[in-house]
Amino acid sequence: MARRQSSAPPEDTTPYTENIVDIDVTSEMEGSFLEYAYSVIYSRALPDARDGLKPVQRRILYMMSDMGLRPDRGHVKSARVVGEVMGKLHPHGDTAIYDAMVRMAQDFSLRLPLIDGHGNFGSLDDGPAAPRYTEARLAAAALTLTNHLDEDVVDFVPNYDNQLTQPDVLPAAFPNLLVNGATGIAVGMATNMAPHNLVEVISAARHLIAHPDATLDDIMRFVPGPDLPSGGRIVGLDGIRDAYATGRGSFKTRAKVEVEQLSARRTGLVVTELPYMVGPEKVIEKIKDAVNAKKLTGISDIVDLTDRKHGLRLVIELKNGFNPNAVLQQLYRYSPMEDSFGINNVTLVDGQPQTLGLVQLLTVYVNHRIDVVRRRTVFRLGKKKDRLHLVEGLLIAIVDIDEVIQIIRSSDEAAAARARLMSIYDLTEIQANYILELRLRQLTKYSRIELEKEQDELRREIAELEAILGSEERLRTLVSDELGEIAEEHGTPRRTVLLESEAVAPTVAADLALAAGKKGKAAPLALEIADDPCWAILTTSGQVARTSNQEPLAEAGPRAKHDVFTSVVKTSARGEIAAVTSLGRMLRLQVMDMPVLPPMSGLPNLAGGVPAKDFLTLLKGETLVAFVPLDEVLAIGTSQGVVKRVQPDYPLNREDWEVIALKDKDFVVNVVPAGADDAELVFVTSQAQLLKFGAAGVRPQGRTAGGMAGIKLAAGDRVLFFGAVQPQDEAAVVVTIAGTTGALPGTAPGTAKVTAFSEYPVKGRATAGVRAHRFLKGEDTLLLAWAGHGPAKAASAAGVARSLPQEHGRRDGSGVPLSQPVDVVGPAMAWADPAQTA
């Protein structure tokens, strides 16, 4: 077969002129690079300080809101969202859009996730499924970022092809940048911002709204430090303060680890929280590498028991003979169980990248939110005025609606009808057009009474909106109130514990030397904290913490929840104290293991404290009663009236033991130091019987003894309070609060009485004592009782101070009615200086 001949294309003979332009390569490269750098900084990598979002994140949320993907509607495929965003607003790769979308759905990346994901959105060790498999919709918190976009609250700008518009910034009803943090790498700069607790950040913002000249110290009372999604511990607060002051700083994050007895002969370290953005597989890999390299010793195995029900749980099994605390220090050094987080608060302010501190970040947000609410109010005011204008015109016409219809019917065209209506009824063109556009069936729902009612309501609303616009104070108050509603609706408790300094353990060598019988003190690690004096604190809500020094706990300053102290022990940072439980167990505590409260200005809010159940291993139904020193004789009182003084001969090789043998259904009410024989022990029962007797009548016993009869109880009676008072204490008082047995807790205030302790006579042990409170009609029990060094104070469960009677009453008299319920009563040291009762 003959081969086909291809014909050559005709030669182009059109004349042309060459135009070669000489361009300096250096200038061209500089200009092109700067243009690229600006694009990355403004349109890709850095978040806006107002809403805390990068452009791709803002476009995703706006498009999902425009698509109607609300929390009360079904999920849609992620690929559909990615396609809508890419086609309409973000002309970049689908991978970049999907990655940003995935991060906003991960609860381990964001403190308050903005997207509700359905499917595999990845983990710290694995990537997400493809967008065709996952589904998404907006989270409830994201709605607060996009609400009111239809009320002209922000400026809209054209999209990439000028066919659509998109918001230049979102209204942002909460400080998203501080709550969720941000990461981004631009050209020549980067940002790395830590997440914070929503309630704390909003509290700081509201304080800044009320006090625009607030200092950093004022703001840090509300925001003591970051609150990471993964929890963990933050060690060292100096770097955080530097970051809050200058916008740059760093801090260490540590895993939450507990020493558990895995078996009768095997101890292990159980990891339940890891540093921010550190996955368990990475930790396991690094630990195995360090063990193989002989950097880590004492570890026999590591098992990942993580599941959906119990969350993260890494069990690190230890070899026999190794100190768990020493092994833990090695793990912090050679594995990601300790990580560093560098804060670099670079963000866009008015289109310019700036490095801002905490106060500046909050100020930018507050100004933005005030502007949003002002523009929303102006928009609503205009809408109300337009509607009022129409209603007033309709009211004029509806009085003579038949004549209005006749005028319209007799007119040749709409323009003539409009002119006649405007002339006869003195209407504006807008009002006349509205009447002409009414359908006949709409006339059935209009009545003069209804229109006048709507007119009055519109005038009231207009007056309210104008008052807001006319008063800067009312406008700022409205913004603050809306922030408070957001905090109440979406706020969650703090997850990350703040530690002022790291608590380190003795070295393995020193522990082995002590185990071999050598005397001496264990050699500390290089990072050992100083043995400074401090206070160990237990609160009414079961929060455990210690102070960084022994300065007085000042009464001044705002109150916060859980700030009422029930037990305060004078100790040192490397000292030991004991905790006594309701089941008569005593647990040895290392003070340096307790979380340290941040530097205090006024009354501490225990932001760095932890619940006792997380700090101690308590049995089912067991509660923590008090902290006590280990070197003093203690007096123990139980609910069945048993009293015991116990000698401090506790075992040195055990961490917990019994200090009293309790009878069935009996429990410890209180434990107090009572080494002096001249001390007076006090029982107060629910039936208002008070017995005080000398401590000398109770001989000290061993820890296994069951005590002796303290107060004789009537049928159905129980001990409400037990304590010790020095007889020479002239300021000692007795506080009793009576109420009704059947009343729900916190519903009936009851009556309170404050009586001088000296008014009560000393009775013999094992007697019924004397009457301490006369019940009024409707009262049948004591709700609270306390005796000790005055003055006495009271508080609600939330830590709000309550008033007690100022005058001392008769010991056999009735109480004074309270205006509000009281949940806690105790000495002034619970609020002020513990030295008063030391």
CB atoms under 10 Å from CB of 745, counted, come to 10
- The last residue of one of the domains, among 127, 142, 172, is 172
Residue 306 CB partners (closer than 8 Å, separation 6+) = 280, 312, 313, 314
- Looking at residue 506, what is its pLDDT? 33
Q: Is 767 exposed, middle or buried, given 0-12, 13-18 or 19+ CB atoms closer than 10 A?
A: middle
Identify any residues that bridge with 301 across adjacent strands, giving them in sequence order. 317
The yes-or-no verdict on residue 523 having pLDDT over 50 is no
Strand-strand pairing, 135-138 and 76-77:
antiparallel
Quick one: 675 and 814 in the same domain?
yes
329-363 pLDDT tens trace: 889 989 999 999 999 999 999 888 899 999 999 99
- Taking Cα atoms as reference points, which of 183, 344, 340, 334 lies closest to residue 254? 340
Residue 673 CB partners (closer than 8 Å, separation 6+) = 628, 629, 632, 633, 634, 635, 724
Q: Is 815:809 a contact under the CB 8 Å cutoff?
A: yes
Q: How confident is the model at residue 686 (pLDDT cuts 50, 70, 90)?
A: very high
Q: Is 736 exposed, middle or buried, given 0-12, 13-18 or 19+ CB atoms closer than 10 A?
A: buried
Q: CATH no. for residue 283?
A: 3.30.1360.40
- Looking at residue 613, what is its pLDDT? 79
CB atoms under 10 Å from CB of 546, counted, come to 27
Separation of alpha carbons 820 and 838, rounded Å: 31
Global pTM exceeds 0.95: no
From the centroid of its chain, how far is CA 316? Answer: 30
Q: How confident is the model at residue 830 (pLDDT cuts 50, 70, 90)?
A: low
- Looking at residue 525, what is its pLDDT? 37
SS3 399: coil
Type and span of the H or E element at 515 = helix 508-515
CB atoms under 10 Å from CB of 228, counted, come to 26
Q: Is the peptide bond before 791 cis (omega within 30 degrees of 0)?
A: yes
Q: Is 737:818 a contact under the CB 8 Å cutoff?
A: yes
- Taking Cα atoms as reference points, which of 498, 503, 568 lies closest to residue 531? 503
Quick one: 767 and 837 in the same domain?
yes
- Looking at residue 832, what is its pLDDT? 43
From the centroid of its chain, how far is CA 367? Answer: 24
The yes-or-no verdict on residue 554 having pLDDT over 90 is no
The yes-or-no verdict on residue 604 having pLDDT over 80 is no
For residue 344, tell me if it sits in a domain: no
- Looking at residue 828, what is its pLDDT? 66
399-438 pLDDT tens trace: 888 888 888 888 888 898 889 888 888 889 998 998 888 8
In this structure, of 61-75, 123-137, 310-324, 557-571, the range with the lowest mean pLDDT score is: 557-571
In this structure, of 236-240, 255-259, 557-561, the range with the lowest mean pLDDT score is: 557-561
Q: How confident is the model at residue 494 (pLDDT cuts 50, 70, 90)?
A: very high
**DSSP letters for 58-92:** HHHHHHHHHTT--TTS--EEHHHHHHHHHHHT--S
The yes-or-no verdict on residue 111 having pLDDT over 70 is yes
Percent of the chain with pLDDT over 70: 86
Q: How confident is the model at residue 800 (pLDDT cuts 50, 70, 90)?
A: confident
Separation of alpha carbons 84 and 99, rounded Å: 15
The yes-or-no verdict on residue 556 having pLDDT over 80 is no
Q: 367: phi > 0 → left, psi -120 to 50 → alpha, else beta; which?
A: alpha
For residue 392, tell me if it sits in a domain: no
Check if 133 is active-site: yes
The yes-or-no verdict on residue 263 having pLDDT over 70 is no
Separation of alpha carbons 56 and 104, rounded Å: 11
**Half-sphere CA count of 113, side-chain side, radius 13 A:** 21
For residue 420, tell me if it sits in a domain: no
- Total residue count of the chain as it appears in this document: 838
Quick one: 668 and 764 in the same domain?
yes
**Half-sphere CA count of 77, side-chain side, radius 13 A:** 8
The yes-or-no verdict on residue 564 having pLDDT over 80 is no
Q: What is the largest CA-CA distance in the chain?
A: 133
From the centroid of its chain, how far is CA 350? Answer: 30
For residue 407, tell me if it sits in a domain: no
356-395 pLDDT tens trace: 999 999 999 999 999 999 999 999 999 999 999 999 988 8
Mean pLDDT of 307-323: 83
Alpha-carbon Rg of the chain, whole angstroms?
36
- Looking at residue 562, what is its pLDDT? 57
Domain that holds residue 656: 633-838
- Taking Cα atoms as reference points, which of 462, 453, 475 lies closest to residue 386? 462
- Which of 417-421, 473-477, 512-516, 527-531 is the most confident on average? 473-477
Separation of alpha carbons 195 and 178, rounded Å: 6
Q: How many helices (H) and strands (E) does the chain have?
A: 19, 41
For residue 2, tell me if it sits in a domain: no
Mean pLDDT of 512-535: 48
Q: At what angle do helices 198-210 and 358-398 cross, to 10 degrees?
A: 70
Quick one: 534 and 603 in the same domain?
yes
Separation of alpha carbons 561 and 568, rounded Å: 17
- Looking at residue 528, what is its pLDDT? 40
- The last residue of one of the domains, among 318, 336, 354, is 336
**DSSP letters for 624-673:** EEEEEESSS-EEEEETTSEEEEE-S---SS-SEEESS-PPTT--EEEEEE
Quick one: 642 and 596 in the same domain?
no
The yes-or-no verdict on residue 518 having pLDDT over 60 is no
In this structure, of 32-36, 164-168, 198-202, 492-496, the range with the lowest mean pLDDT score is: 32-36
In this structure, of 131-135, 301-305, 566-570, the range with the lowest mean pLDDT score is: 566-570
For residue 432, tell me if it sits in a domain: no
For residue 319, tell me if it sits in a domain: yes
388: phi then psi, degrees, rounded to nearest 5: -65, -40
From the centroid of its chain, how far is CA 136? Answer: 26
The yes-or-no verdict on residue 833 having pLDDT over 50 is no
712-747 pLDDT tens trace: 999 999 999 999 998 888 889 999 999 888 776 656
Quick one: 655 and 616 in the same domain?
no
Q: CATH no. for residue 137?
A: 3.90.199.10
Tally of structural domains, the chain: 4
Residue 253 CB partners (closer than 8 Å, separation 6+) = 228, 232, 233, 234, 235, 275, 276, 338, 339, 340, 341, 496
Strand-strand pairing, 816-817 and 751-756:
antiparallel
Quick one: 577 and 695 in the same domain?
no
Q: How confident is the model at residue 531 (pLDDT cuts 50, 70, 90)?
A: confident
The yes-or-no verdict on residue 693 having pLDDT over 80 is yes
- Looking at residue 412, what is its pLDDT? 84
Give me the amino acid identity at 837.
T
Tokens of 154: 């922000």
In this structure, of 238-247, 478-487, 583-592, 758-767, the range with the lowest mean pLDDT score is: 583-592
SS3 359: helix
- Taking Cα atoms as reference points, which of 272, 185, 178, 264 lies closest to residue 232? 272
Quick one: 528 and 606 in the same domain?
yes
Quick one: 619 and 687 in the same domain?
no
- The last residue of one of the domains, among 121, 153, 172, is 172
Separation of alpha carbons 115 and 103, rounded Å: 9
**End-to-end alpha-carbon separation of the chain, Å?**
115
- Looking at residue 188, what is its pLDDT? 73
Mean pLDDT of 512-520: 37
SS3 171: coil
Mean pLDDT, the chain, as a whole number?
85
Percent of the chain with pLDDT over 90: 51
Give me the amino acid identity at 508.
V
636: phi then psi, degrees, rounded to nearest 5: -120, 135
CB atoms under 10 Å from CB of 542, counted, come to 19
Q: Of 98, 133, 650, 760, which one is the catalytic site residue?
A: 133
295: phi then psi, degrees, rounded to nearest 5: -80, -30
Tokens of 631: 């070197």
Separation of alpha carbons 678 and 594, rounded Å: 34
Quick one: 695 and 720 in the same domain?
yes
- Looking at residue 746, what is its pLDDT? 59
Quick one: 620 and 648 in the same domain?
no
Residue 386 CB partners (closer than 8 Å, separation 6+) = none
For residue 401, tell me if it sits in a domain: no
Quick one: 768 and 719 in the same domain?
yes
